[in-house]
A and B are shown apart, each in its own frame.
Chain A
Amino acid sequence: MERAASLVVIIGVLFWIVSILIFKGLWRVQMVSAAIIIFGIVLAHISEEFYREEDE
């Protein structure tokens, strides 16, 4: 779960960099990358709350 969250966040950030460099910072594309990062952050917190004790 933790790895999945990290992966989603990194994909979101890379997509944001692409949105700035290739799509000239078009707000719609940036918001898509924001949505991906938010999904990653939610996964991160779910993993902290629900899976961390099991992992340990």
Chain B
Amino acid sequence: MARKRVSQAEEWQAWAKRYDIDDGIRTFESGLTLKVFLGALFVGLLMMPGSLYLTYVSGTSGAGAAPWVAVILFTELARRSFTTASRQELYMLLGLTGAAVGSGVQYRSFIWYSYFVKTPQAVSYEIADKIPWWVCPPPDSIAIAERTLLHRDWLAPIFIFVVFKLLGTIRHISAGYVLFRLTADLERLPYPLAPIQAQGATALAETTGKGETWRWRVFSIGSMAGLIWGFLYIGVPSLTGLMMTEPIQILKIPFIDFTQAIEGFAPSGIFALYTDWSQVVTGFVLPFPIVMSEFLSASFSQFFLNPFLYKQGLLIQWKAGMDVRSTSLANSLDFWLSYGMGKSFSFAIVGLAASIPMLIKMRSRKKVGSGQRGTLEPPPGRGDFPMWVMVGMWLAGMGLYVFIVHKYMVPNFPLIFLLGFAFLYTPLNSYITARTFGVLGRDLFELPYIHEMTFILSRYEEIDVWFVHLPDEDYGRGTQHWRVLELTGTTFTSNIAGTLLMMPILIVAGILVMHFVWQIAPIPSAQYPYANMMWPINATWECINKTALRDGNSQMLQAIRGDYLSAGLTSSLGIYGLLWVAKLPTMWFYGVVGGIGADPGSILPRLVGALIGRFYMIRRFGLRRWYMFNPVLAAGFTCGVGLTGMAVVAISLVSKAVIVKPF
């Protein structure tokens, strides 16, 4: 009997429903209340100095866990005040606290360039005197000598930063929204990782109500598992590292390398088993066909394809005895870098091939209700905007940004390249990323050395262009956030209002906190051990990178080969086409193409999770219940690991602050 074709519309719609936490039925409410705003501001600003300080002391900021800590504090306060917190409020709190904690770090380039401009490396590479006025004051500035950001010499860099921040916010909100509408509303891509945050906020919100449901129990189980895993994987090495010269690692971090063990039967193949088994939880959540096909395709690449390419003389740099890092680099330069670029383009092409007929059909057919594939009709009360307004906002934000860069920052750099980045590369890059997030929950598109390529093609030789933030942006990652807003029933307008209200406060607070941290001691110095150790090396790397094209040559650029790039594009399109011909699900395409060239050892933990979910959990709990449980479990797990991380960072901080006197 012939296999029945399941159209892409039916396939995506089914997956989107599976990942929808309330079967798509929800009412939308504002998450922005005064208590949320003040709570986020208070907790965020309380944690921001510590997070910034830790970045220089230990290299980790602990910012990832801070929002969960804030939410738990908030729910406990709510319970003790005999009031409730809605999931909209808690999700808003997660987002705003994250923004507040991270707001100090955005100014670290000011301190970095204040240091860099005076380094012997910058002087010897003849960069020090060429750093533009909008990056940092000159090396002899009194602002640098006195380690202060509150000086008129910083006016220009801070003004440029604030203007760009404002324009960047406009661009990210508008472009992220448009991409969300195209991928989530029109195409109904499932966004498999979006329910994690949504279910986390929902579970915690329920604790403030009268009746606790299964969500809180599952969240607690996940949190306990996360605490235990976090202690074993992060806690033990970090804490023993404080006391011993060689920290104890129960599992080798980040991987156990078997590359040399497999070279006998799979020369030039890589296999490094990643030991971060928290990925098992991600495997629970991701669609099984994707994880399975990704693993099979990665195994095929490393055990059959790489040895074949090696025998054919395409992988020429690999030598017996190389470890995973050297083998990956060699294979990447020889083949996979170019192939990977080609396969990434195929995501954009198949996305456009699916979307354009849908858009044409949408214009010609009768109006369909929201929640159906092929319609841009938004659900009522979500707080949507006309698409043309958002497109107009993005065009205005990007146009003004390009104008400032061209007129005041790098006037001699050819405008055509800035326009190309802004209006061709950025939309393409963002659309591809939005699609890969919509299906795989991660980014797959990367054009390496695109800046270097541009600078060579432009024949521009001034150093200032290296310091400009070129308009190559990626709004695709942000689309998942809009999906979480939808799943939690938070109105889009309240989220935008919260972001815009917080922004001016955080801009001022960030500068002040950065100023005070710099006042404590010079950065880098003995008081900031991580910066003291890493910054001199980073300065050397920055000099090497920024002067790499002085002779118009680069080893990396030579690695990009047209024939391999075409092979990546054509083979990926061929896989998509053949899967369609064979009436197989499109999910397999994303898995197979995503896994080509990858290390199967990095996918193995996810595969274990996917197999346990598929062959034990679904049988034990049933498909529907398991898909309800697993995002809550994953949210709890993330929270548990984050809490362990924060505790470890706090202990490290206290330990480093204690000065042991010799008598």
Specify the chain A residue showing the minimal Cβ separation from B352: A42
In the complex, A45→B573 CA distance in Å?
Answer: 14
Q: Is the CB of B565 within 8 A of A13?
A: no
Q: Is the CB of A9 within 8 A of B349?
A: no
Interface string of B638-651 (1 = CB under 8 A from A): 00000000000000
Interface string of B570-586 (1 = CB under 8 A from A): 11011011101100000
Q: How far is the CB of A36 from chain B (nearest CB, A)?
A: 9
Which of A12, A25, A37, A38 is close to B563, meaning CB atoms less than 8 Å apart?
A25
* Set of chain B residues within 8 Å of A6, measured between Cβ atoms: 580-581
Most buried by B among A2, A26, A37, A46: A37
Q: How far is the CB of B314 from chain A (nearest CB, A)?
A: 10
Q: Is the CB of B358 within 8 A of A12?
A: no
A26-B563, A30-B567 known; A38+B349 contact, CB < 8 A: yes
* Set of chain A residues within 8 Å of B580, measured between Cβ atoms: 5-6, 9, 41, 44
Q: Is the CB of A34 within 8 A of B358?
A: no
Q: Is the CB of B353 within 8 A of A13?
A: no
Q: Is the CB of A12 within 8 A of B574?
A: yes
Q: Is the CB of B574 within 8 A of A37?
A: yes
Which of A2, A10, A31, A49 is close to B570, meaning CB atoms less than 8 Å apart?
A31
Q: Is the CB of B563 within 8 A of A34?
A: no
* Set of chain A residues within 8 Å of B562, measured between Cβ atoms: 27
Which residues of A (13-38) have their CB < 8 Å from a CB of B?
Answer: 13, 16, 19-20, 25-27, 30-31, 33-34, 37-38
Q: Is the CB of B581 within 8 A of A41?
A: no
Q: Is the CB of A48 within 8 A of B9?
A: yes
Which of B349, B374, B565 is close to A27, meaning CB atoms less than 8 Å apart?
B565
Q: Is the CB of B566 within 8 A of A30?
A: yes
Which residues of B (542-581) have their CB < 8 Å from a CB of A?
Answer: 562-567, 569-571, 573-574, 576-578, 580-581
Specify the chain A residue showing the minimal Cβ separation from B571: A16
A40-B577, A44-B580, A48-B8 known; A27+B566 contact, CB < 8 A: yes
Q: Is the CB of A45 within 8 A of B581?
A: no
Counting contact residues on chain B (CB < 8 A from A), the size range is: 20 to 34
Q: Is the CB of B577 within 8 A of A44?
A: yes
B38 lies within 8 A of chain A by Cβ: no
Q: How far is the CB of A35 from chain B (nearest CB, A)?
A: 9
* Set of chain A residues within 8 Å of B360, measured between Cβ atoms: 49
Q: How far is the CB of B571 from chain A (nearest CB, A)?
A: 7
Q: How far is the CB of A18 from chain B (nearest CB, A)?
A: 12
* Set of chain B residues within 8 Å of A38, measured between Cβ atoms: 349, 353, 573
B380 lies within 8 A of chain A by Cβ: no
Which of B7, B357, B569 is close to A46, meaning CB atoms less than 8 Å apart?
B357
Q: Is the CB of B565 within 8 A of A42?
A: no
B354 lies within 8 A of chain A by Cβ: yes
* Set of chain A residues within 8 Å of B564, measured between Cβ atoms: 25
Interface string of B130-147 (1 = CB under 8 A from A): 000000000000000000
Q: Is the CB of B353 within 8 A of A25?
A: no
B350 lies within 8 A of chain A by Cβ: yes
Specify the chain B residue showing the minimal Cβ separation from A23: B563
In the complex, A45→B5 CA distance in Å?
Answer: 13
Q: Is the CB of B566 within 8 A of A37?
A: no
A38-B349, A41-B573, A50-B361 known; A30+B563 contact, CB < 8 A: yes
In the complex, A26→B569 CA distance in Å?
Answer: 13
* Set of chain B residues within 8 Å of A25, measured between Cβ atoms: 563-564, 566-567
In the complex, A26→B577 CA distance in Å?
Answer: 21
* Set of chain A residues within 8 Å of B353, measured between Cβ atoms: 38, 41-42, 44-45
Most buried by A among B354, B562, B566: B566
In the complex, A10→B574 CA distance in Å?
Answer: 8
Q: Is the CB of B577 within 8 A of A45?
A: no
* Set of chain B residues within 8 Å of A45, measured between Cβ atoms: 8, 353-354, 356-358
Q: Is the CB of B570 within 8 A of A9?
A: no
Interface string of B354-378 (1 = CB under 8 A from A): 1011101100000000000010000
* Set of chain A residues within 8 Å of B573, measured between Cβ atoms: 12, 34, 37-38, 41
Specify the chain B residue showing the minimal Cβ separation from A30: B566
Specify the chain B residue showing the minimal Cβ separation from A44: B580
Q: Is the CB of B570 within 8 A of A16?
A: yes
Q: How far is the CB of A45 from chain B (nearest CB, A)?
A: 5
In the complex, A33→B346 CA distance in Å?
Answer: 13
* Set of chain B residues within 8 Å of A9, measured between Cβ atoms: 574, 577-578, 580-581
In the complex, A16→B564 CA distance in Å?
Answer: 13
5 closest A-B pairs by CB: A9-B577, A30-B566, A27-B562, A27-B566, A49-B357
Given A10-B581, A45-B356, 18 other A-B contacts at CB below 8 A?
A9-B577, A12-B577, A13-B578, A20-B567, A25-B563, A25-B564, A25-B566, A27-B563, A30-B563, A30-B567, A34-B573, A37-B574, A41-B350, A41-B353, A42-B353, A49-B357, A49-B374, A50-B357
